[in-house]
Structure 1
Amino acid sequence: MAHSETADMIQHTRRHATAADYVQLMKPRIMMLVVFTAVAGLVAAQSVSGASMNPIMAVIATLAVALGSGAAGAINMWYDADIDAVMTRTSTRPIPSGAVPREEALAMGLIMSGVSVLMMWLASNALAALLLAGSIAYYGWFYTMLLKRRTPQNIVIGGGAGAFPPVIGWAAVTGSAPLDAWILFAIIFMWTPPHFWALSLLAHKEYAKANVPMLPVARGAKATRNQIMIYSVLLAPLGLVPVVTGLGGMLYGVTAALFGAAFLLLAFKVWRSEAGDGDAPAADLKKAKGLFAFSILYLFVLFAMLIVEHGFAAYLPVTLV
């Protein structure tokens, strides 16, 4: 569906916007994960480098990351309004539902982008601000406008957008982005495909209806399940790399090993299932849904352990860190 056709359709379904509509434009669930991983990078950087950041400046830098994430979300919703209107699960979003005009969402995204980058620069340094600007452009332009509608590898290549936050948090403290920061980037980057493809197995008909070449649409469900398994096999040991470099302690290592094994088990069950096939049993669809839900928990727990080890090490038994 063309953008002009979407605009005409929305014009006939106009409704009054609420505060919740503008919050939804910023994709708050994604924002929370983005902020959490950025905080993990910020906390770990202070512990590893010995550098310190003024608490007020740290809060402002974190707020800048949140605004940047929200800005990218608003730009994404502005551009994707046409396919959001076609897909059932996104048709109630602020723009296709007629609550927020498309041009208003774009203006909001652009203004928030500028404000967030400026805030980061003033609160920390130029590198952190540059990385934040790059992450916004990566999601709002590179992934949304160039990749999403053109290649089934959109999620693989576009995964870098959500992987920047811990690097940004680290750079905000030290003004640099060392290997440990990029290891955290790599974990999120490798986590993104199996996480999102598990969801796409459930929503493949919606993507097909909107002509979006997600992997299940372009290559089929079996190929998608194979790719989920491959990326999961790569992710599980990658999650343990922080232990090798010293970034993660024993608490992190045990957690990463256990949750990595559980991730592999769930991915294996999806691989053996018929999830995404036209006549897939409900039990197989449940396996894909289970992997999607657990993947969120997996990433949250790994980064939570880093925050605990580096932010609360003084309160933990020595044997755990």
Structure 2
Amino acid sequence: MTIVTDNRLSVAQDAGPASSEAGLDARASDFFALLKPRVMSLVVFTGLAGIVLAPGDIHPIIGFAALLCIAVGAGASGALNMWYDADIDARMSRTQSRPIPMGRLTPDDALAFGLVLSVASVLSMGLLVNVLSAALLAFTIFFYVVVYTMYLKRRTPQNIVIGGLSGALPPVIGWAAVTGTVTIESLALCALIFFWTPPHFWALSLVKAKDYGAVGVPMMPNVAGPESTRRQILAYAVLLAPLGVAPALLGFAGMTYGIAAAALGLVFVALAVRLHRVRTDRAAMQLFGFSILYLFLLFALLLVERLAGLA
């Protein structure tokens, strides 16, 4: 018995540094996963658009600090969302592999991590950029964590509609970081993301309806039914198409953007019409996939036009 124990200790000692490094790497990757990096990338991209499109100048270092604060604030929101939703994440196929359900991190780890990042991002934004952008960032975190995650998500099928405001605010925060104001132009960018969110998520929820139903989250297909959800997706697509063109109509985007946005909006509507008629998971996932491309292309075009001096 002693020999076996000694051998194990010997092996552990020999492998100690490598095992420790592997453990640290794994733990770091788990904390990174708490930030919801894919969601964060969209937030950073739209926040950057707000900074670049805003009139006036901002020092590159201050602009980078603002963008970093937006990213950290988004990551903090993701960590706090995973902390609160750990119970349902463990029961949904889409979220079962997250760090808390897998036992790699505890809910307390996520809570502490999220709170520290929240405070750090807001204070840094206030000290390094301006008070308005910090207040907007604080409101965004609060809205996503408290209003959406803790209240709306498990109570109403309008959770995505109302809760979508938190994901729509990053360009407003970026704009405020430069100008210290909130203007009609920044609100137009906010409205674009706000009206994009329901058809984007409802298309996915049509496919994942059983998962949401199993954990009691009242997503639209489970409450109103798939047919009603498809009609509402189409309605939002029709509203979204002109909002995509709004930056050109308001004068802070050029003709190239306007034409491209109109064409992309028509494709979005066509896919929503197809989903309404075909009623298949494939049609839903095609719309879901295109919705991601749609938003990326619109904001990419806005950035390219401005950086190339075309708008």
TM-score, L = length of structure 2: 0.91
Structure 1 residue 196 corresponds to structure 2 residue 206: no
Distance in 2 between residues matched to 1:98 and 1:133, nearest whole Å: 30
Mapping of residues 29-108 of structure 1, within 5 Å: 29-45=38-54, 49=55, 51-108=56-113
Secondary structure, in 3 states, of the residue corresponding to 2:98? coil
Secondary structure, in 3 states, of the residue corresponding to 2:218? coil
Greater Rg over alpha carbons, structure = 2
Secondary structure, in 3 states, of the residue corresponding to 2:171? helix
Matched with 1:280 is none
Distance in 1 between residues matched to 2:83 and 2:104, nearest whole Å: 13
Q: Kindly, what percent of the aligned residue pairs are identical? A: 55
Matched with 1:298 is 294
8 Å CA contact 1:242–1:248 kept in 2: the answer is yes
8 Å CA contact 1:40–1:169 kept in 2: the answer is yes
Q: Once the 2 structures are TM-superposed, how far is the Cα of residue 310 of structure 1 from its aligned partner?
A: 1.4
Structure 1 residue 128 corresponds to structure 2 residue 133: yes
Matched with 1:157 is 162
Distance in 2 between residues matched to 1:290 and 1:52, nearest whole Å: 40
Q: Once the 2 structures are TM-superposed, how far is the Cα of residue 42 of structure 1 from its aligned partner?
A: 0.4
Structure 1 residue 308 corresponds to structure 2 residue 304: yes
TM-score, L = length of structure 1: 0.88
Given candidates 224, 229, 233, the residue that maps to 2:234 is 229
The one-letter amino acid paired with 2:235 is: I
Distance in 2 between residues matched to 1:66 and 1:312, nearest whole Å: 25
1:143-191: CA deviation from partner (whole Å, max 9, x where unpaired): 0001000000000010101000000000000000110000000000000
Unaligned runs of 5+ residues in structure 1 are 1-15, 275-283
Q: Once the 2 structures are TM-superposed, how far is the Cα of residue 225 of structure 1 from its aligned partner?
A: 0.4
- Count of matched residue positions in the alignment of Structure 1 and Structure 2: 287
1:40-81: CA deviation from partner (whole Å, max 9, x where unpaired): 010000xxx2x1111011111100000000000000000000
Q: Segments of 4+ in structure 1 off by > 3 A?
A: none
Matched with 1:209 is 214
**More off after superposition, 259-268 vs 162-171:** 259-268
Instruction: Tell me the C-alpha RMSD between the 2 structures.
Output: 1.0
8 Å CA contact 1:128–1:172 kept in 2: the answer is yes
Secondary structure, in 3 states, of the residue corresponding to 1:88? coil
Q: Once the 2 structures are TM-superposed, how far is the Cα of residue 312 of structure 1 from its aligned partner?
A: 2.1
Matched with 2:180 is 175
1:13-66: CA deviation from partner (whole Å, max 9, x where unpaired): xxx653221111110000000000000010000xxx2x1111011111100000
Q: Once the 2 structures are TM-superposed, how far is the Cα of residue 122 of structure 1 from its aligned partner?
A: 2.0
Distance in 1 between residues matched to 2:59 and 2:127, nearest whole Å: 13
Matched with 1:3 is none
Q: Once the 2 structures are TM-superposed, how far is the Cα of residue 273 of structure 1 from its aligned partner?
A: 2.1
Distance in 1 between residues matched to 2:124 and 2:292, nearest whole Å: 29
Q: Once the 2 structures are TM-superposed, how far is the Cα of residue 123 of structure 1 from its aligned partner?
A: 2.2
Structure 1 residue 137 corresponds to structure 2 residue 146: no
